[in-house]
Amino acid sequence: MKKYIKSILINLELIIVSLIVLVPTFWIVISSFNEGTGLASSSLVPKKLTIGNYIRLFTETNYLHWFQNSLSVALLNAIVSVGLILITSWVLSRFQFKGKRTGLMTMLILSMFPSFLSMTAIYTLFVTFGLNKTPLALVIIYSAGAIPYNVWLVKGYLDGISTSLDEAAYIDGSSKLHTFVKIIIPMSKPIIVYCAVSQFMMPWMDYILPNLLFTGESTKTIAVGLYSMITGKENSYFTTFAAGAVLIAIPITILYLVFQKYLVEGISAGADKG
């Protein structure tokens, strides 16, 4: 009897959680095809479906420019972050040097602090050095912020790769850098994919930093641009906002579907071996 009750409770919980996630998602998707423009006209059962909101999104807003800004930042951040994380993790995993433990503990402590504590300092630095003129400057912040937590994760994965492979390569005349490129990186594909996808997602939907550091229309990212449709004087464009929200979810969905195997393997292996 207890077994059946437990099974019922687990399935009931899963159903409730699924509804909490799926109902808002379904509402946004349906709202993007709604005839009206405001929040009041959006409903789960619209009278008529139309693609007018998607047409309006591309013809009456700078959606493509916002998309380009966000895509450039996300791609560059994924590349730079993964490079910094891999090199740092490899050094900490394979080499012994004074201050190594202190450095690891420092990164662990830094990862515990919320990012908003440094907002004032970041804003001051960006304005002082003129970095608030291009969204690509966000890569500096995102890449630096990605190092503490991800280095611990990747280091745990690299620790699970036998050092005998490195030693065999050294005996054959391979340099340390060549060994890293030809042996360590190919064997670290799951954790690399996980880091790349997570670092791509970070700036993709971030609103706080771009909104704080950039004010011009040309520097808006997709999150800031879409949010402007439902705030202030433009709060009557909810269905257009919904259309934009549906479109920006597509790249992330595709990434998760394509790299699902590597994502699960990478995060579980990094956590177990860490």
Position 16 scores a pLDDT of: 93
Position 137 scores a pLDDT of: 87
Average pLDDT over residues 90-109: 85
Average pLDDT over residues 128-148: 87
* Domain residue limits, the chain: 62-273
Q: What is the pLDDT of residues 178-218, one digit of tens each?
A: 899 888 998 888 889 888 988 998 888 888 889 888 878 88
CATH classification of 62-273, choosing from 3.10.310.70, 3.40.50.300, 1.10.3720.10, 1.10.10.10? 1.10.3720.10
Q: What is the pLDDT of residues 13-54, one digit of tens each?
A: 899 999 898 888 888 888 888 877 766 555 666 677 788 889
Q: What is the pLDDT of residues 145-187, one digit of tens each?
A: 888 888 888 888 888 888 888 888 888 888 888 899 888 998 8
State the Cα–Cα distance between residues 67 and 226, nearest whole angstrom.
Answer: 10
Q: What is the pLDDT of residues 51-97, one digit of tens each?
A: 888 998 898 889 999 999 999 999 999 999 999 999 999 998 888 88
Position 274 scores a pLDDT of: 46
